[in-house]
Chain A
């Protein structure tokens, strides 16, 4: 029988393996995902800072809320999927959305869904994030509002007024839940993942969205026109 030699590299491997295990354990609930609103790279302060869109409107932001679910870390042998229910992210409040734990440096991408699918929409009232009291529900049609973006607009020849982008709709052909996938290769997962919500992408992605002409999006059909703009807002810093 061959004698068992323990080489320095084996010790290192064992140590790393143990450390990884320790990190995984330490990561439970400790890391998360935070959404931070920006406009052309500058942080957004709600109800105060004014920004200029490509189509020449001066806008402010008063509300950004959306439902996040199905957070998944990809790139391991099998994806690590969050089991938590829908989270209502109110970007005007401090928040930290739990994400599934992933071994050190192993996640390649994170993905999540914005919106509420047809099953949950037709299930009846739910407590917590999905409580209709949160104001994220259309009573006259199509169920939950997935995302609300509101503020004021002003432009040459256009008096200051409120704009409302409300996105919902779970029935064909206006199924407006959408999935966001972001690259996270090489991240340590030992600190929260900061996701930029680049609001300039909503207004200024080609072709530019003239908010003065469409200050109100409030049903599923209108919302289906702006899904790609919304998806494009989410970026990893």
Chain B
């Protein structure tokens, strides 16, 4: 949490409450600041941080009894294989905490019964600032996102009624839902909001890059050169400080037999979206290999080689990618040195 003390207008951002409850809570703050200060379950203390330099958060959450209990419930659900049809696969199976919640060494997502998905598991970070989800941007709301992996045939393949029956029969979930939402009624919207709130709290804002930007760390010469090259060639799409512009682009990868994916056009039917995929954040990039929407590159140097090989880029390549132009070996190494600061 950064140093700025939360003002009354931002107290409830992580957890919007009804007008009367809000008034009551504000009155309580006025009467007894000390009580609030010691109540760690209050929405005030558990809210998602707003790192300096970050834009305004997109994620808003919804009504609840305790924001921190919702986040804790979401964390419990996230690592629990109960979400999958045969209770074999959890969110964490593919979104590994030590890999910035991506899946190291796996090009495509894995699901129940050894099923393989269509796309590479993305890192989960700074999702509270993200405006759409999935590689094609098909999902508009973070709290709705987990419905896709839970019910998806190639992922957890679970039926929502079956999931509710399992959660209701569980020894502790009803109690967890009570602390989070005020009653032990388990509903799908509550499951989704808990998961959404948990992943919304995964914030990457304290890398060496961040500290250097705040004057708390210094850049080595090669990192400094890498930063300048990055800003010239990459930052139009991978815009600081989130290292994504939340947009979509065709980055010049040719679809092939292993990955016949046509990208965002599948959901928009707009020709301009042919082979377009979300611009991913580059934070923690050294932990999230392999790279690209289909995981076709194992190493960062493969990615840089692809962007550098302008002559080989197909017609559908975004002009911003084409404009990168050939990069020397030294330039590529410098850019990678800078990217390593994003961990």
Binding site for B on A (CB under 8 A): 121-127, 131-133, 137, 139-143, 171, 174, 220-221
Of B80-88, B141-149, B172-180, the segment with at least 4 beta carbons within 8 Å of chain A is B141-149
- Chain A: CB-nearest residue to B61: A124
Cα distance, A133 to B143, chains bound together (Å): 14
Cα distance, A221 to B273, chains bound together (Å): 15
Determine whether the beta carbon of B193 is less than 8 Å from that of A143.
Answer: no
- Chain B: CB-nearest residue to A123: B141
Determine whether the beta carbon of B188 is less than 8 Å from that of A125.
Answer: yes
Determine whether the beta carbon of A174 is less than 8 Å from that of B269.
Answer: yes
Chain B residues whose C-beta falls within 8 Å of the C-beta of A127 in the assembled complex: 187, 189
Whether, in the assembled complex, B290 has its beta carbon less than 8 Å from a beta carbon of chain A, the answer is no
Chain B residues whose C-beta falls within 8 Å of the C-beta of A123 in the assembled complex: 141
Whether, in the assembled complex, B29 has its beta carbon less than 8 Å from a beta carbon of chain A, the answer is no
Add 11 more A-B contacts to A125-B62, A133-B187 (CB < 8 A).
A123-B141, A124-B60, A125-B141, A125-B147, A125-B188, A125-B189, A131-B187, A131-B188, A132-B192, A139-B147, A174-B269
Determine whether the beta carbon of B164 is less than 8 Å from that of A133.
Answer: yes
Cα distance, A1 to B340, chains bound together (Å): 97
Determine whether the beta carbon of A133 is less than 8 Å from that of B138.
Answer: no
Give me 18 A-to-B residue pairs in the complex whose CB atoms sit less than 8 angstroms apart, sorted by A's number: A123-B141, A124-B144, A125-B144, A125-B147, A125-B188, A125-B189, A127-B187, A131-B188, A132-B192, A139-B147, A139-B151, A139-B152, A140-B148, A140-B152, A141-B138, A142-B138, A142-B267, A220-B269
Determine whether the beta carbon of B160 is less than 8 Å from that of A125.
Answer: no
Determine whether the beta carbon of B188 is less than 8 Å from that of A124.
Answer: no
User: Contacts A131-B187, A131-B189, A137-B147 given: A124-B152 contact, CB under 8 Å?
Assistant: no
Binding site for A on B (CB under 8 A): 60, 62, 136, 138-144, 147-148, 151-152, 160-161, 164, 187-189, 192-193, 196, 266-269
Determine whether the beta carbon of A132 is less than 8 Å from that of B269.
Answer: no
Q: Closest Cβ of chain A: how far from B320's Cβ, in Å?
A: 24
A124 partner, pick from B141, B151, B268, B269, beta carbons under 8 A = B141
Chain A residues whose C-beta falls within 8 Å of the C-beta of B62 in the assembled complex: 124-125
Q: Closest Cβ of chain A: how far from B134's Cβ, in Å?
A: 8
A133 partner, pick from B161, B267, B268, B269, beta carbons under 8 A = B161
Chain A residues whose C-beta falls within 8 Å of the C-beta of B161 in the assembled complex: 133
Cα distance, A125 to B147, chains bound together (Å): 10
Q: Closest Cβ of chain B: how far from A169's Cβ, in Å?
A: 10
- Chain A: CB-nearest residue to B143: A124
Determine whether the beta carbon of B138 is less than 8 Å from that of A140.
Answer: yes
- Chain A: CB-nearest residue to B267: A141
Determine whether the beta carbon of B196 is less than 8 Å from that of A124.
Answer: yes
Determine whether the beta carbon of A122 is less than 8 Å from that of B148.
Answer: no
- Chain A: CB-nearest residue to B145: A139
- Chain A: CB-nearest residue to B139: A139
Cα distance, A172 to B144, chains bound together (Å): 20
Determine whether the beta carbon of A125 is less than 8 Å from that of B143.
Answer: yes
Chain A residues whose C-beta falls within 8 Å of the C-beta of B160 in the assembled complex: 132-133
Cα distance, A127 to B143, chains bound together (Å): 13
- Chain A: CB-nearest residue to B60: A124
Which 4 pairs between the two chains have the least Cβ-Cβ distance? A125-B189, A141-B267, A124-B143, A139-B148
Chain B residues whose C-beta falls within 8 Å of the C-beta of A126 in the assembled complex: 189
Cα distance, A141 to B148, chains bound together (Å): 10
Determine whether the beta carbon of A132 is less than 8 Å from that of B196.
Answer: no
- Chain B: CB-nearest residue to A141: B267
Cα distance, A103 to B164, chains bound together (Å): 45
- Chain B: CB-nearest residue to A130: B189
Q: Closest Cβ of chain A: how far from B84's Cβ, in Å?
A: 15
Cα distance, A127 to B62, chains bound together (Å): 12
Q: Closest Cβ of chain A: how far from B164's Cβ, in Å?
A: 7
Cα distance, A171 to B139, chains bound together (Å): 12
Determine whether the beta carbon of A140 is less than 8 Å from that of B267.
Answer: yes
- Chain B: CB-nearest residue to A174: B269
- Chain A: CB-nearest residue to B150: A139
Cα distance, A220 to B270, chains bound together (Å): 12
Chain A residues whose C-beta falls within 8 Å of the C-beta of B189 in the assembled complex: 125-127, 131-132
Chain A residues whose C-beta falls within 8 Å of the C-beta of B142 in the assembled complex: 124
